[in-house]
């Protein structure tokens, strides 16, 4: 059974462990680089700060007692729009519904805060993530997101309308 655990700033060590694993194992999928969060970037105050973004919703998925995935929902500058960020499922959790569970939990949070649209950015070529998001009702908006850290690939913006759907 997959259990969702809501994180607060005191859970920064758990968040740190999963985030570093994500950037190590699947760095191709993120705009941030592992090096950005190591060395001088690997500070308790920075990790705590990441979990205290005003209005954010930070969760991990626990499967068989082990944290195997993470995701966040954050407000945007656009009224009624929130964003799904920092989505990651560890290899041990893949193919077991963890990704769908995390997306569903962030969507539920988005609805609870009155959002009308849930957006995300997905790396070009990350076919598994594209499939996960499409399966959960997200559509490519045609917008290009940020340039990835390597300077070659871009993120693509996907969105899901939360109006009139359950």
Structure confidence at residue 6 as a pLDDT band (50, 70, 90): very high
Tokens of 28: 């191709």
pLDDT at residue 164, as a whole number? 77
CA pair distance 1, 129, nearest whole angstrom: 22
pTM (predicted TM-score)? 0.92
In this predicted structure, the answer to whether residue 166 has a pLDDT above a threshold of 60 is: no
pLDDT at residue 89, as a whole number? 97
The sign of the torsion formed by the CA atoms of 29, 35, 38, 40 equals: negative
What are the C-alpha distances in Å from 154 to residues 2, 33, 157? 32, 14, 10
Mean pLDDT rounded to a whole number for the chain? 91
For 107-164, write each residue's pLDDT tens digit.
999 999 999 999 999 988 899 999 999 999 999 999 887 666 665 667 899 999 999 7
Phi and psi torsions of 6, nearest 5°:
-80, 130
**Domains of the chain, with CATH numbers?**
2-161 (3.40.630.30)
Arithmetic mean of pLDDT, 98-103: 98
């Amino acid at each position: 059974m997959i259990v969702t655990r809501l994180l607060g700033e005191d859970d920064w060590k758990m968040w740190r462990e999963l985030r570093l694993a994500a950037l190590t194992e699947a760095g191709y999928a993120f705009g941030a680089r592992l090096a950005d969060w190591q060395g001088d970037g690997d500070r308790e105050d920075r990790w705590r700060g990441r979990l205290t973004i005003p209005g954010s919703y930070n969760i991990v998925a626990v499967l068989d007692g082990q944290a195997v995935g993470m995701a966040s929902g954050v407000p945007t500058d656009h009224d009624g729009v929130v964003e799904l960020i920092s989505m990651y499922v560890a290899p041990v959790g893949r193919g077991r519904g963890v990704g769908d569970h995390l997306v569903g939990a962030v969507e539920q949070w988005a609805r609870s805060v009155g959002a009308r649209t849930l957006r995300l950015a997905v790396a070009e070529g990350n076919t598994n993530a594209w499939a996960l998001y499409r399966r959960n009702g997200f559509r490519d908006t045609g917008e290009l997101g940020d340039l990835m850290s390597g300077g070659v690939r871009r993120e693509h913006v996907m969105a899901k309308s939360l109006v009139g759907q359950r």
